[in-house]
Amino acid sequence: METDIKPRRIHFLDEVRGFDLILMVAFHAFYVFGWLYDLEWGRKAFLFFTPVEPFFAGLFILLCGISCYLSHSNLRRGLILAGIAAGISVVMYLFMPSEMIWFGILHFLAVAILLFVALKPLLSKIPSWIGLPVCAVLLILTWHLPAEMGGYFGIPGVFQWQVPESIASQWWLYPLGLGRGTGSDYFPVFPHIFTFLGGTFLGVWARDEKFPQWMYKSRAPWLSWLGKHTLIVYVAHQPIVFAVTWVVFWIMGLF
């Protein structure tokens, strides 16, 4: 049931988002240290955490989906994200084409939020207890659709439908996860849209304050602060990491 009463802040979600942000920033920093500055320990740290990167990226997407039902400005959020994502692509194209981001996590989240705005009247008619398991099944079935994951629909060892070459060769399908392409920080619509939509179904319970009561109490205010300022920190962390690392290496070169 829709309500104009603002739900209580779920501080636990802010804190989890803040912690997740730290993990994502550290992961990107390891890449900078390892491959752009040729530090062996950076490469080892990056490769060590690579297997769990889909988990904390997925958690980030899930939390974004939840917050869509707690926000009254999703259209504005989506358009701002789209503008920032486009700006990042332009900067990468001009200054770091080898690390080009064509459809990264911010591009995906912008598209996902705008899709939610358009589809909310339909999605609101689907009970969460149905939407959540359906999203989970579709996430599993589409997990290997991107070419880098195998390029097929289905479950390994059970059944697989390979994406035809006539489709995979279409570069304009790259954002959907169907066409082949190149680029860093790749988060195509499929399969990740189902993680996001799963979050929106959880968001219905968050809006109706049906989460466990312990989630509404703040236990780590600094993590909560990070969680409330995720976009600013996420956008700023890459140039800050580059700048700090450059200064450190410049100082080391003086001795």
CA atoms within 13 A on the CB side of 114: 14
pLDDT over 50 at 2, yes or no:
no
Longest pairwise C-alpha distance within the chain: 66
pLDDT over 80 at 4, yes or no:
no
- Residue 5 confidence (pLDDT): 59
CA atoms within 13 A on the CB side of 50: 9
Distance, in Å, from the CA atom of 188 to the CA atom of 87, rounded to the nearest integer, reads: 18
The tokens describing 228, both together, are 């409330």
- Residue 6 confidence (pLDDT): 66
Coil, strand or helix at 226: helix
**Which residues are CB-contacts of 209 (< 8 A; sequence separation ≥ 6)?**
7, 8
**Residue 171 is which amino acid?**
W
Pair 224, 15: CB distance under 8 Å = yes
For the whole model, what pTM was predicted?
A: 0.91
pLDDT in tens, 145-166: 999 899 999 999 899 999 999 9
CA nearest neighbour of 108 among 181, 31, 169, 190: 190
Q: 3 falls in which pLDDT band (50, 70, 90)?
A: very low
Pair 193, 115: CB distance under 8 Å = yes
Distance, in Å, from the CA atom of 43 to the CA atom of 154, rounded to the nearest integer, reads: 33
pLDDT in tens, 90-116: 988 998 888 899 999 999 999 999 999
Distance, in Å, from the CA atom of 116 to the CA atom of 108, rounded to the nearest integer, reads: 12
CA nearest neighbour of 81 among 53, 56, 116, 52: 116
The tokens describing 59, both together, are 């958690």
Tell me the angle at which helices 40-49 and 11-31 cross, rounded to the nearest 10 degrees: 140
pLDDT over 80 at 254, yes or no:
no
In the chain, where are the structural domains located?
11-253
Distance, in Å, from the CA atom of 17 to the CA atom of 227, rounded to the nearest integer, reads: 5
Pair 150, 144: CB distance under 8 Å = yes
Q: Which residues on neighbouring strands pair with residue 7, listed in sequence order? A: none
Pair 35, 43: CB distance under 8 Å = yes
- Residue 107 confidence (pLDDT): 96
